[in-house]
């Protein structure tokens, strides 16, 4: 339920995700590409290489009609030119902005290199900007334009490389080379393979040439995945098989036709095609993430209007927005995305404890900002899953019955499917329709885990028939909770967790585990179950059943159960 592809900032493709989902045995992919990225909010549209260095701060771009008073405080965007990771063996290399010549402004990008090894040697500089604001989905119908100046002969070429998304069956990324050269066609073909294609551009040597390339059309006609691609990166430079090659580039512009809701409509059409092709249900959602990082789950949640709200919405505002539009909401990756916060040292237990405590206080005081769901199921995301579970249990103890789910937040076609952060959620529901899945999450009748290691089912019920996710309002001093897990792998370890305290581990020794637990419900209590592989990797986790002797706070009508 948290998966990205060619409309976000990673290297993944929709086809690849469907291939993996089919192989793993998933029923549904609920896409959550970033809303502000589909809207191209604050995205760079052009760059003239005007900075004296290869790192340049430029004004943030806003759509015409934006209330710039509401965007106050935004930092300038930084555009950086850096060596491409697949650069070859070269010598006498230069990469700089220069005042030697330009078509607009006073500077251009100069790239120079000679080959220092046999065969064709590329020397390219990749352009990128803060938060990857130069990327585009090819579904938005992308063309690029730039000016190029070169004397390229029959041993060298000026080149612009466009890196694309990872595609099945081998999950390799595609690439387009747009070249200005007098090299023979047969020699250009030696640069090509199944994933890399070369496109010769007409040019006048020794003059500035204005070039326009239709990247979407080229990815389609050259069978590199078509619109199920992103412009992952664009790089400027030279390719040589001996002599010194020199090229200048200027006035780079990015054009697209579709954005926002129009692009999301294209995504829905793609989803329908891939659902028919692969047999996996594809639903199109979004991640509301310019400021807060939260996934709405619902049938009619629109995109945020970034012309009206150029600074985005806070977590509380996002929650109110989603609920006003009939959806429910997940609070994502509570410890951060990839890097630890400055105040956190993941290797220091005291630092980890302080950081967890701070998150517990924040989420408790703000009641999870009104979110209905909390991403708990990451084997490790900045911190290990034990930290996620501790925060979740603390919220439960504070009377906040937020549903836990498992996600991968994968942005690629390789990582996040078979190991690592590859968790999914299973929902007890009548069907796989959007409405029924949303209903299952509202009730909290959800468990989550590793879909590769675990192929079974999990139930958590009471003798009274109450199910996981339920908030049972009861005057009974005791309840009996029953757990049933089918499909456990060999050596799996299972334990019950009551009020945040883990009980003794059971090692069933067989695929089926059944147990009954007596729970003191004279005071507020909650019970959940968790299982680990023989090696200790997180395997499968239930949502809790909550018991409260009397109503306290607001309980969702979907979860509230009266038990005399």
Per-residue confidence (pLDDT) for residue 472, from 0 to 100: 96
pLDDT digit string (tens) for 215-268? 999 999 999 999 999 999 999 999 999 999 999 999 999 999 999 999 999 999
* Strands, E assignment, 205-325: 208-214, 230-231, 233-240, 245-256, 281-284, 294-297
User: CA 479 → CA 300, 372, 474, 506, distances in Å?
Assistant: 39, 26, 9, 21
**Rounded distance, CA 86 to CA 509, Å?**
50
Bridge partners for 34 per DSSP: 287
**Superfamily, domain 42-256:** Galactose-binding lectin (2.60.120.430)
What tokens does 172 get?
Answer: 């390799």
| Strand 28-31, strand 281-284: pairing | parallel
What are the backbone dihedrals phi and psi of residue 485, each rounded to the nearest 5 degrees, phi first? -125, 130
Query: One fold for both 42-256 and 333-406+422-563?
Result: no
Name the CATH code of domain 333-406+422-563 (choices 2.40.50.140, 3.40.50.880, 3.30.420.40, 2.60.40.10).
2.60.40.10
542 DSSP assignment: E
Please, are residues 454 and 489 in contact by the beta-carbon 8 Å criterion?
Answer: yes
pLDDT digit string (tens) for 113-151? 999 999 999 999 999 999 999 999 999 999 999 999 999
Residue numbers of the chain with a pLDDT score lower than 70? 551-553
Alpha helices in 412-474 (DSSP H): 434-443
Per-residue confidence (pLDDT) for residue 552, from 0 to 100: 62
Q: Is the peptide bond before 207 cis (omega within 30 degrees of 0)?
A: no
Per-residue confidence (pLDDT) for residue 74, from 0 to 100: 73
170 DSSP assignment: T
**Rounded distance, CA 114 to CA 245, Å?**
6
Collapsed DSSP state (helix, strand, coil) of residue 305:
coil
* Domains of the chain by residue range: 42-256, 333-406+422-563
Please, are residues 90 and 116 in contact by the beta-carbon 8 Å criterion?
Answer: yes
Collapsed DSSP state (helix, strand, coil) of residue 230:
strand
94 DSSP assignment: E
Collapsed DSSP state (helix, strand, coil) of residue 536:
coil
**Rounded distance, CA 287 to CA 301, Å?**
11
Per-residue confidence (pLDDT) for residue 553, from 0 to 100: 65
Listed residue (280, 298, 467, 297) closest to 375, CA to CA: 297
Please, are residues 280 and 28 in contact by the beta-carbon 8 Å criterion?
Answer: yes
């Amino acid at each position: 339920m948290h998966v990205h592809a060619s409309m976000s900032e990673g290297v993944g493709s929709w086809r690849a995700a469907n291939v993996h989902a089919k192989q793993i045995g998933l029923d549904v992919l609920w896409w959550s590409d970033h809303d502000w990225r589909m809207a191209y909010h604050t995205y760079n549209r052009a760059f003239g290489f005007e900075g004296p260095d290869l790192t340049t701060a430029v004004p943030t771009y806003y759509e015409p009609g934006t209330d710039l008073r509401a965007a106050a405080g935004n930092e300038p965007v930084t555009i950086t030119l850096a060596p491409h990771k697949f650069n070859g063996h070269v010598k006498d290399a230069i990469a700089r902005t220069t005042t030697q010549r330009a078509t607009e402004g006073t500077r251009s990008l100069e790239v120079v290199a000679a080959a220092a090894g046999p065969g064709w040697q590329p020397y390219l500089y990749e352009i990128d900007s803060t938060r990857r604001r130069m990327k585009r989905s090819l579904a938005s119908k992308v063309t690029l334009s730039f000016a190029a100046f070169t004397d390229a002969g029959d041993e060298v070429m000026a080149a612009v490389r466009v890196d694309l998304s990872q595609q099945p069956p081998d999950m390799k990324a595609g690439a387009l080379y747009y070249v200005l050269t007098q090299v023979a066609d047969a020699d250009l073909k030696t640069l090509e393979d199944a994933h890399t294609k070369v496109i010769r551009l007409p040019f006048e040597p020794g003059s500035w040439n204005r070039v326009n390339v239709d990247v979407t059309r080229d990815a389609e006609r050259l069978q590199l995945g078509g619109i199920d691609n992103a412009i992952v990166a664009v790089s400027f430079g030279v390719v040589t098989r001996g002599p010194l090659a020199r090229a200048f580039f200027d006035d780079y512009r990015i054009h697209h036709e579709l954005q926002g809701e129009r692009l999301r409509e294209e995504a829905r059409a793609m989803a329908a095609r891939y659902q028919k092709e692969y047999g996996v249900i594809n639903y199109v959602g979004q991640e509301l993430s310019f400021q807060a990082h939260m996934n709405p789950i619902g049938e009619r949640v629109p995109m945020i209007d970034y012309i009206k709200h150029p600074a985005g919405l806070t977590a509380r505002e996002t929650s109110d927005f989603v609920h006003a539009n009939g959806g429910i909401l997940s609070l994502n990756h509570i410890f951060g995305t990839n890097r630890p916060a400055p105040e956190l040292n993941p290797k220091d237990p005291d630092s980890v404890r302080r950081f967890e405590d701070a998150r517990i206080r924040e989420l408790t005081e703000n009641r999870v900002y009104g979110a209905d769901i909390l991403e708990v199921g990451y084997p490790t995301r900045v911190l290990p899953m034990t930290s996620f579970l501790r925060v979740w249990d603390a919220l439960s103890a504070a009377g906040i019955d937020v549903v836990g789910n498992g996600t991968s937040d994968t942005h690629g076609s390789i990582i996040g499917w078979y190991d690592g952060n590859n968790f999914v959620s299973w929902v007890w529901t009548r069907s796989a329709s959007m409405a029924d899945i949303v209903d299952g999450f509202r009730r909290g009748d959800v468990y989550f885990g590793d879909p590769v290691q675990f192929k079974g089912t999990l139930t958590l019920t009471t003798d009274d028939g109450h199910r996981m996710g339920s908030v049972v309002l009861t005057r009974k001093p005791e309840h009996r909770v029953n757990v049933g897990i089918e499909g456990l792998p060999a050596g799996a370890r299972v334990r019950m967790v009551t009020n945040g305290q883990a009980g003794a581990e059971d090692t069933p020794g067989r695929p089926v585990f059944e147990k009954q637990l007596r729970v003191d419900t004279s005071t507020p209590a909650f019970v959940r179950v968790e299982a680990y592989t023989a090696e200790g990797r997180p395997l499968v986790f239930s949502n809790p059943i909550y018991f409260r002797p009397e109503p306290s706070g607001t309980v969702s009508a979907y979860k509230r159960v009266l038990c005399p």
